Amino acid sequence: MARHKILILMIILYAVWGSVFLANRFCLESFPPFMLNAFRFLPAGIFLYAFLRLKGDEGLGLRGWIDSFIVGAMLFLGGTGLLCVGQQWVASGLSATLLASTPLWTVLFAGIWDKMPLPMEWIGLGIGIVGVALLNFDKGISGNPMGAVVILAASVIWSLGSVLNNRFKSLDKPIASATEMIAGGVLMLVVSALIGEKVSWPPTARASMGIFHLVVFSSIIGFTLYRYLLMTVRPALATSYTLVNPITATMLGALFAGESVSFISLAAMVVILSGVALVFRARNI
């Protein structure tokens, strides 16, 4: 694919997934973490599955559904779910910094099989993570050690799930985006029921708008685009959204949540974007 088309797709992914933090903030006014993620991924998966089937796409066999539950468990229960758990005890600054390690884990797992990272990618990822830490310095790079371990585990599990998504041949169809979200949503709903989560009813207007954004933009569009990029570009580039997400979240927080942006934050954004630019410029993307 032409470099400029990849850039456009990456910008879209940066936008829709960078806005997840603000949408989650609004949704948590009415929905507990696991139920929130179940309500996000299950409807999105069902809608996308029905749409693709009506369009004529072939469904998955038993092997495909089993693999969807394996990958869905890693991405959504182990990745998104554990992140929500860890954030109960860890400051947002440390959470974002730990989550920014996702590209490192992804390229390492991918390298086990075939796509070892290039030197320029290592440098770019390192610069990006330093920038994320700097950006979140004012928010507090602190937290309960166990919470930090949980978030780091979420990053590792998400990365492994992303790589296995490409390794499982049964998931090489577009409809796998839907089956993985359905699987993840079901697992989240089960966990939510087991721990007795309750919705604050009726949901606030902001929570309702947040759920709509998470289902339509962050899940149906964002996750489908993420899977496509995983199969099209190098792993370091496909997962570089974790470096850019804090920038998007900071800008949206300033615009819609009254958060301030310091000079240090602006300088950190330049550092992050410099690192991402190096990753993007790496050959054979």
**Closest C-alpha among 76, 63, 98, 35 to residue 243:** 98
Q: What is the mean pLDDT of each run of 10 residues along the chain (285 residues)?
A: 79 85 80 88 94 91 94 91 78 68 82 73 81 69 72 89 89 92 94 89 88 92 90 82 79 69 77 79 58
pLDDT of residue 75: 93
Q: Is the pTM of this model over 0.95?
A: no
In contact, 213 and 98? CB cutoff 8 Å: no
pLDDT of residue 100: 77
Rounded to an integer, what distance in angstroms lies between the CA atom of residue 3 and that of residue 42?
A: 33
Over residues 87-137, the pLDDT tens digits come to: 777 765 566 777 778 888 888 788 777 767 777 877 887 888 888 777 766
Domain map (residue ranges) of the chain: 3-115+141-233
Neighbours of 152 (CB within 10 A): 17
**Closest C-alpha among 200, 95, 219, 105 to residue 159:** 105
The torsion angles phi and psi of 143, rounded to 5 degrees, stand at 160, 170
pLDDT of residue 260: 67
